[in-house]
Amino acid sequence: MPLRNVRLGVVDLKQVKAALRRRHQLMSEGVYERKVIVVVNGKGGVGKSSLSAALAAALSKTGLQVLLVEIDEQGNHNEDLGTTGTELDDNGQAQAAAILEGKPFAPVGEARPNLFVVPGGTELQDVVEELYCQRRIAARSSEPEDQLAWMGMYAAAIDAVRHLYDVIILDVAPGSEPLQLQALVAGDMVLIPTRSDPSSRKGLRTVARRFAQARSLNPALRLLGVVLFATASAATRVQKKIKSQLAADLNGAAEVLEQTIRHVEAAAVACRTHGQVPQELAAATGLDPALQRSLRALAGDYRSLALEVLQAKAALDTADASRKDAA
């Protein structure tokens, strides 16, 4: 039987390419506003989901309109925010419909005042399959725009709604290169949580490679900083050594943020069990006194981190303004 060329039924990227051109035009005019924070590491188990949910909750408490997007098939945010089994738990269906069917990239609801959520879940498996198909097709193209456009599918969808929010946080799956590239192209700033073990630091270097690849389509992307996660709060000397090692890994590409997130296993389990972030559960009554002390300390870590993230973002905004004035 003779072989035939069969056209795969993939998403038409015409609108994606148009959206990317508009984005580059805004960048060139100096009117592109930084809003999208990508929380990413090349390795799982580094506190990425917990940090994303707690940071989003902390920023929303300041009155900012926050959109939290979980680009991950695991759907951990439902446990972090206590939305499992509710109308906000759509298993990634709305997100998949936005990417695959061109529907608006809309939140499923408001998990907290000012905190809007787009959950992840197993429905994103279809998105991942689409991205692999798009990448294979792009590799056969001789046009530079067509070779890169597949990485901008999330960017196009998110750009259409970014004016509705003050901050957008993308929590992206650790093991999926296509999803990480999508998030990095859609993002403006990258926040990398990491533990101190060698495999976590290797994950950081994996992100660095993908960051460089995404910059080919998103020249405005910047590293916001690295957060040392799950440390012993009393090990000041050890923390200093680890931060020095991380700074050497980064080679000046980004700051290791001053605020670390301590490791409190009982507090982490309690937060997931109650569906609350540390700042919320720390204010609850009837808890074991030792657990409540740990929760309050952990809540303080996240509040301080939120402030440091805003300060780091402000520094990037100032640098952008300076470049615009110089031009």
pLDDT digits (tens, 9 = 90+) for 138-162: 999 999 999 999 999 999 999 999 9
Helix (H, G, I), strand (E, B) or coil at 259: coil
Phi, psi of 274 (to 5 degrees): -90, -10
Torsion angle (degrees, nearest 10) of CA 251, 54, 110, 286: 180
Average pLDDT over residues 167-185: 94
CA angle 12, 143, 220 (to 5 degrees): 80
pLDDT score at 71: 97
In sign, the C-alpha dihedral spanning 295, 299, 302, 308 is negative
Residue range 5-27: average pLDDT?
A: 84
47-75 average pLDDT score? 94
Q: How many CB atoms lie within 10 A of CB 1?
A: 3
pLDDT digits (tens, 9 = 90+) for 257-298: 889 898 888 999 999 999 999 999 999 999 999 999 999 999
What is this structure's pTM? 0.91
- Cβ atoms of 213 and 177 within 8 Å: the answer is no
pLDDT score, position 226:
86
Average pLDDT, integer, range 92-107: 96
pLDDT of residue 41: 84
How far, in Å, are 36, 148, 230 from residue 137 at the CA level? 28, 11, 41
pLDDT higher than 90, residue 34: yes
Distance CA 192, CA 263 (A): 17
Q: Is the dihedral of CA 184, 185, 186, 187 positive or negative?
A: positive
The mean of the pLDDT values for the chain is 88
Of 87 and 42, more confident: 87
Residue 235 has pLDDT above 60, yes or no: no
Asked if pLDDT for residue 323 goes beyond 90, the answer is no
The CA distance from 133 to 122, in Å, is 18
Quick one: what percent of the chain has pLDDT higher than 70?
A: 89
CA atoms within 13 A on the CB side of 25: 6
